[in-house]
Each structure stands twice: as structure tokens, then as C-alpha cells.
Structure 1
Amino acid sequence: MFNNTRTDRRIASSVLTLMVGLALSSCGKDEPKQLVQVVPKVSVKEISAIAQQQELIYSGNIEPENTAHIGFAVPGVVNNIHVVEGQRVTKGELLASIDASEYVNALAIANAQLEQAEDMYSRLDGLYKKGSLPEKDYIDIKTKVAQARANKSINAKRIKDSRLYAPITGIISAKMVERGSTAAPGVPAFTIIKTDQVYARISVPESEVGAISNGMSSAVYVPTLEDTIHGNITIINPQADPVSKTYAVKIKLLNPDGKLLPGMLAEAKIQTGKAVNVIAIPAPSVVRDADGLTYVFVTNDQNKAIRRRVTTSNVTGNNEVIISQGLTAGDKVVVAGQTRLKDGSTVTF
């Protein structure tokens, strides 16, 4: 009996010690922390339309004022070339020539035939006036004289045409013949471009072509030259391109020093003189993603930030961006804190 009591006490003591140890162990552990969601704070601006002078901006390229594809008017073998590609030539300058030996000989024969015909005519003319020569023979000799003169003129022109001259002042942009090659009528031998004046050629959509007219001034920026040249609209093609449905517009630019070369990229800005309502927002509020797409965040009535794609058109002097598509007056745009947002994020102001 006594032993059983002592055993029960030992068991109870061990249980108590275990319970105390478990309690102390649980007290030594940290309580699990509650995750607190941080709502980003942003600044929002309700946008409105503002009146601004309409400015149209287009990309284009530089074109020569005139392009001449020239070739020989008579066939022959090219024996001399006096110019190279890229060379500036003046109107009337000799470019190339062909072997004219055949035409020189033909002209000598034509001269002999003309002299013979004229001599015969002078002798028969007196007989005709005396009534001793039938009219039929008199007409025949007059015809032979006329034919001989025409033959002489044709061969003289062929000799002249064997030498090719520049019809305009410009630059040789292409040379399609070599010494020893055969030239043929109608086949271009050289291309000359006139560049003392050039055109900036742009394509204008149908919705905007009505806002521009001949004579309007334009500032044309050429990135290659890092320079802006001012010109005027001189040509508006009345027929739209069948594929793009745009109208070709040309802006004439003076180019006395020849810096503007055909093919250079250009950006034309045209002030139409009309006032239009535009949407302008602070430039920092526009975000660009890795794909180069531009967007902003707008807030709704549930204080959610919604990502919205926008298209920008210009930058004002107040460090604001003109939005051509994506926003309307009354939208609330996030202008500060937008870099921490995701589409659908809850925000506070």
C-alpha cells in the first residue's frame, strides 16, 4: 500500500514537470505576424480640354525637285564618258559621246548629193523659164533638191545627237553606260537630279488634308543634319493613294548648299492657324513599358487604378504631353506615384 502511494506521487510529479516544460517551450516561440497590406498613395488630376493652335506633324522624306533620265537619240558605240556618279554638272555640259564616223560619212554623201541636185536645178531652171523643159522634169529636180537638203539635215542632226549634254543643272545619281558599250535610242544612259531646291514629301490622311492648303508654312526637321529648314506647301496631290488612302503633300525647301539629299528622313510640322481642343497631361504621368507602349493610370469611383493605353502627339512648352487617343475630358489621371501601381491596384489620395 505504501509503495503504491509513492509510485503514484512519482508519476504525478513527472506529468507536472512535462506540462510545465511544454508551457515554457510554447512561451519561448514567437507569435505569427499578421500581414498588413499597404495601399499606395498617389496624386490625381482631373483633366480637361484646353484650346491650342492646331499643329499637324508628319514623317516623310526628301525628294529632288526634278529627276531627268537621259539617253542618246541615235544608236552607236560609246567612245567617251566625261562624268562619274555623284558629280555635279551644269546645264549644257558634255556627259558622253558615241562614235559618229558613220554619221560623218553619211553627211559627206548627203552634201555631195545636194551639190549635184542644186547644180542640176540651176541648169534646168533656165530651160524651164524659157519653156524648153517640161513641167514634170522641173518638178522632179526640185523634189531631188528638197530631198538632198533634208538628208543633209538629218545626218547633221545625227552627228549632233552623238554627243550627250546635260539638260539641267544637277547631280549625276546614276550612270548606266560604260566606254565600249552600245547605246540605243530611248535607253537611259544617265540620271540627273536637281537639288538646288528639294521637296519634303509627306502623306496626309483624309481626315486632316482639308485643314492644309497651298502656301502654308512648315518647319521641316532633318535628323541626319540636326537642322530645321522652313518651307511652304506647294503641291497637294488631289488623288489619294489607293492602298493607304492618304494624300501626297510636298513642301518646297531651298537647298543652295546642297546639304539636303534625296532619301533623307524628315519630320514636318504644319501650323494650320486653327484653334482646337486638346487633352494635355503632365509628361511624368506617361509610362512606357518594355515594348515601347505608352500608358497612364486613371482612377475610378472604387479608388482602383486602371491602366489605359494612350497615344501621344506632341509636347508643350509647359512639360505637358498632348494625348491624341486614350483619354477624354473628366478622366482622373494619376500624376504622381504611378510607378508603384499595377492594373487594378487600390489607391489612396
Structure 2
Amino acid sequence: MKSIARSLIFALALVSTAIMAADALPVIIVKPHPVDLTIPAESVVEAVQQTTVGAQVAGRVLEVRADSGQRVTKGDLLMRIDAREAGEAARAAEAQYKVAKLNYERHQQLKEQKFVSQAAVDKARADFDAAAANRSAAGASQSHASIVAPMTGIVARRHVEAGDMAMPGTPLFTIYQPGSLRVTASIPQHRLPAMRGVSSARVEFPELGKWVDASAIQVLPTVDAATHVAQVRVSLPGLAEAVPGMFARVHFVTGRADKLTVPAGAILRRGEVAAVYVQTADQRLVLRQLRLGEAVGQGEIEVLAGLAAGDKVVTDPVKAAIQVQSGK
């Protein structure tokens, strides 16, 4: 219905006087008022505390006990890997340790009887220390067959299935803490001077229809050499609906000024043409073409030309278009 109505409107090439009595249309009286001047930037939600759990031993995945979206507690068993090779290596290291220990003790006894030199004893001690270290490393590798949660949080993604072959460094799970989220925005380097004095920002979630005030802003000190943009981290207050990877738009507040604005939802657009319905003093509806500026405030667009203070703008253009068409 919206697309049909708007197409009919603009097919008239903005001939300005589609006239009929306005019937209970929502309107606002526009006038200059103080609004926040902002620098908008697209961003992505990410977790402040997030970790990727990787395999540390080679082996086939035998059992999977966690899946995406599941809440886990630190220490919970997530997965078991068949690490029989690591077990055999641990047993071999244990045997070498026992031999090295006996050899070192024997050399100590022979040294007391003056049958071997101190250098031989030192060599036996070095072999014993190396065998002890090898045994500890092999035992640790064997314990890595059981994958446990390193933190309390939510499993964002499980990267492998039961039966897959895991190799050292293979990512297995991505876990994040939902209570601490932020968005990271990219700012062109020519905007950085204006960002130096920024201390507040609002974050818009278009899909959720929500705005939240940022709790902290951090401009990272480097600029990417390839794209010439700087990363800005914006901390979020608690927002249960936000999840890592979600799109958001950050509006960095750089100052305030008096502007004539209209709500973004009141504007009809076709290509580069923008217009709004204006209700006249005699209750007629007139389609008025506008020249727009930048987005300001919260969901408002600056009007550079086409409206004057005191004009009544219809905030529901689809309903206005239906009335206009039905009155012909």
C-alpha cells in the first residue's frame, strides 16, 4: 500500500495542490529549535569480553556438549577429543623420566665412591631435569583432550561437529559475556579534529527501533593505512536485545544549534526528490518539495528550503496520500 501510494504521488511530478479536507491526520508545527549536531557513523556490536576456544591437541571430536546460544559456566565440559596419541606420548615421557631419575641417583652414588667425575653427575642431572619437563608437558597435552569453558557466558558459535578432526589451533567455540557490549565505528581521518571534543553519543538500533546513550567513548590512537579511517569504541549500557554482530549507527554529538527540522518518517522520497505533506490553514493538503540537510537530533532531518516556521507537516505521509487519492 505504501509503495503504490507514493508512486502515484510522485507520478504527478510534485504538482503542488492535491487538495481535500484533512481528516484527523497527525501533524506537527515546525519551527527552529535547539538540536544536537552529530557525526553519524555505521558500526557493529561486539562483546567486550569474548574468547575463542581452540584445540591444543590433535584428535577426532568424540563428544560435543554445548551448542550456539547455550549459556555455560566457567569449567563446564564443552567437548571431548580423542587424544590417544597424546596419552601414548605421556606414557613414553613417564618411562623416560623414571630411567633418567634412576640414572641420576646411580651417578650420585658413584660420585661418592669417586668412580665418576662431577661433570658426569651434572650431565645425568640435566637429563633428569629434561625428562621431568617432558613428562609435565606430555601430561598437560593429555589433559587438553577435555575442552572446558574458560569463562562464564553464552556460546556465540560452535565451529566443529562431532566426528571432525581437530588440530592444534583449530577454533572450537566462541564464547562471550552478554552483560558487557560495545560498538566499534569507523571515522574518516578528516573527521578526527571534530571528534577530539566529543564526550557524548547516542547509538541507534534501526532494527530494534531503539536509541541508547553511550556510557563511554574511546578513539583509538591509530589510523588504518589502507582505508584512512580510525576506530572508535563506544560502550553500551545494558541492552538485552543487542547481540554481537548486530548493525548499529552511532551519532557522535559535536554541539547544539537552532535548526528547522522534520521527522525522517514524514518525508517522501523518490530518488533525489524529497517532499512532505503540509496542511494549510483551510485544511487542504499540499505536497511540498524540500531541500534537506544532514540528520540531526534523534531521527530528525534538517530542512534547508521548502518549509517555514509555523507550517503544519503531516507525520504520516502514507495516510495523507490515501486521503488525497480517494478524494479525486
Q: How does the TM-score come out when normalised to structure 1?
A: 0.63
Asked if 1:264 is matched to 2:246, the reply is yes
Match of 1:202 in 2: 185
* Number of equivalences: 275
Counterpart mapping for 1:1-349 below 5 A: 54-206=37-189, 208-213=191-196, 216-240=199-223, 245-255=228-238, 258-272=240-254, 274-276=255-257, 279-280=259-260, 288-291=268-271, 293-294=273-274, 309-314=291-296, 322-323=302-303
Q: Per the alignment, in what secondary structure is the counterpart of residue 180 of structure 1?
A: coil
Q: Tell me the distance in 2 between the aligned counterparts of 1:307 and 1:90.
A: 58
How high is the sequence identity, in percent, across the aligned residues? Answer: 24
**Given residue 201 of structure 1, which amino acid in structure 2 is its aligned partner?**
T
Q: Tell me the distance in 2 between the aligned counterparts of 1:83 and 1:194.
A: 16
Q: Deviations over 1:278-323 (max 9, x none)?
A: 5426789x97454473259xxxxxxxxx976333523699xx9623
**Contact map agreement 1:64 1:199 (CA 8 A) in 2:** yes
Of residues 67-76 and 129-138 in structure 1, the stretch that sits farther from structure 2 once superposed is 129-138
**Given residue 90 of structure 2, which amino acid in structure 1 is its aligned partner?**
L
**Given residue 259 of structure 1, which amino acid in structure 2 is its aligned partner?**
E
Determine which structure has greater relative contact order: mean sequence separation of CA pairs < 8 Å that are 6+ residues apart, divided by chain length.
2
Change (3 A) 1:307 1:221: closer
**Given residue 157 of structure 1, which amino acid in structure 2 is its aligned partner?**
A
**Contact map agreement 2:273 2:289 (CA 8 A) in 1:** no
Change (3 A) 1:51 1:243: farther
Change (3 A) 1:157 1:232: same
Change (3 A) 1:221 1:129: same
Greater Rg by CA: 1
Q: Tell me the distance in 2 between the aligned counterparts of 1:86 and 1:117.
A: 50
**Contact map agreement 1:224 1:264 (CA 8 A) in 2:** no
**Given residue 137 of structure 2, which amino acid in structure 1 is its aligned partner?**
I
Gaps of 5+ in 2: 1-16, 18-30, 277-287, 314-328
**Given residue 274 of structure 2, which amino acid in structure 1 is its aligned partner?**
T
Change (3 A) 1:279 1:60: same
**Contact map agreement 2:215 2:234 (CA 8 A) in 1:** yes
Change (3 A) 1:267 1:100: closer
Q: Deviations over 1:188-233 (max 9, x none)?
A: 1222234321112334344543333488233323244443332234
Q: Tell me the distance in 1 between the aligned counterparts of 2:261 and 2:99.
A: 92
**Contact map agreement 2:184 2:233 (CA 8 A) in 1:** yes
Q: Per the alignment, in what secondary structure is the counterpart of residue 254 of structure 1?
A: coil
Aligned-residue offset at 1:136: 4.3
Q: Deviations over 1:51-103 (max 9, x none)?
A: 76534444433222244333111211221211111212233332212123332
Q: Deviations over 1:15-70 (max 9, x none)?
A: xxxxxxxxxxxxxxxxxxxxxxxxx9xxxxxxx99876534444433222244333
